[in-house]
Amino acid sequence: MKYTRLGRSGATVSRIALGTMNFGPVIGREPSYEILDLALENGITFIDTADVYGGGPWGDHPGQSEALLGDWMRDRGVRDQLVVATKVHGPMGEGPNDQGLSAVHIRAGVDASLRRLGTDRIDLMQMHHIDRSVPVDEVLDAFTTLREQGKIVYLGSSNFAGWNLAQYQEQATAHRQIGLVTEQSVYNLAQRTVELEVVPAALNYGIGLLPWSPLASGQLGGVLQKADRSRSKDLDLGERRPRIEEYERYAGTLGLDPAELALAWLLHQPVVTAPVVGPRTAAQLTGAIAALEIALGDAELAELDRIWPGPGGQAPEAYAW
């Protein structure tokens, strides 16, 4: 395993973060434990979850994935070996204060996550989405108080715009409140919009990027190869299909699995702390770990840029001058 700093913080984390979105509602307790055990055996120390996982689009029981992770940590006695990240924002009930980033919901949400995880602190507490209806000073006051109480250690954001990162960091600096150390955003070869403003803002403020959906919902994971093996001809990839075909051919010329190549590309981006991988099987996790050993040179990176062009650099040069 390889390790790095958690954004601008002093904490050390594995360069692969294990996402637990599928744990509980999609895959059961036994296979979830198998993946968690394998991750720890291979040096993965960074575990990402969220309070809503298990509810909404993931199932009928929000909090299920946090509870499963908490049970595993207690069963294995490994809490202190891990950097545990979770999130608050999504709906956790029917009440008017059961979602969002009000101080009321933040404080109640953190306490509930602590209970489900069976721990006394959350190492990285992340805002799952920007909440434009709540003043920034209220949000940061709530998290600053929680840090002073020892309930959270670091603060991160997720699904923030570049100007939101600047907004929160400037507010935190001016008022001596807790600032951001990470931003978790969709980022992969096929979805590179964050390079316009999120990536430059993150680099400027020392915020580590945690890419979610690193395989573009499986489209970068050898989807056409898998369809050929299963003799499925009904795969609808829309306008991305020609690029995916070319990408899979190129991965073949390098002798690499497409999923491993996609993760390796992310690991070569200076802003990236750790891609968040959400395996459903132990084999998928093993493939993700293998990406750490792939070294891409300038020629390979340039070819990937040709196949999957980004927005043209950062704003405004990407669209102006």
Q: Which residues are catalytic?
A: 53
Distance set, CA 289 to CA 2, 11, 204, 296 (Å)? 10, 21, 29, 16
Cβ atoms of 99 and 92 closer than 8 Å = yes
Beta bridge partner(s), residue 17: 46, 276
Cis peptide, bond prior to residue 316, ω within 30 of zero: yes
In angstroms, rounded to a whole number, what is the distance separating the alpha carbons of residues 91 and 118? 21
- Rounded (5°) CA angle 52-36-79: 80
Cβ atoms of 50 and 21 closer than 8 Å = yes
Q: By C-alpha distance, which of 249, 253, 189, 242 is closest to 218?
A: 189
Give the pairing type, strands 12-14 and 208-212.
unpaired
Q: Give the up-direction half-sphere exposure of residue 8: CA atoms within 13 A in the CB hemisphere.
A: 14
Length of the chain, in residues: 321
In angstroms, rounded to a whole number, what is the distance separating the alpha carbons of residues 119 and 249? 46
In angstroms, rounded to a whole number, what is the distance separating the alpha carbons of residues 219 and 63? 28
Q: Helix, strand or coil for residue 27?
A: strand
Instruction: Give all strands of the β-sheet with 152-158 in edge-to-edge order.
Output: 208-212, 180-186, 152-158, 122-127, 83-88, 46-48, 17-19, 276-277
**DSSP secondary structure of 178-238:** --EEEEEEE-BTTB-GGGTTHHHHHHHHTPEEEEESTTTTTTTSSHHHHHHHTT------G
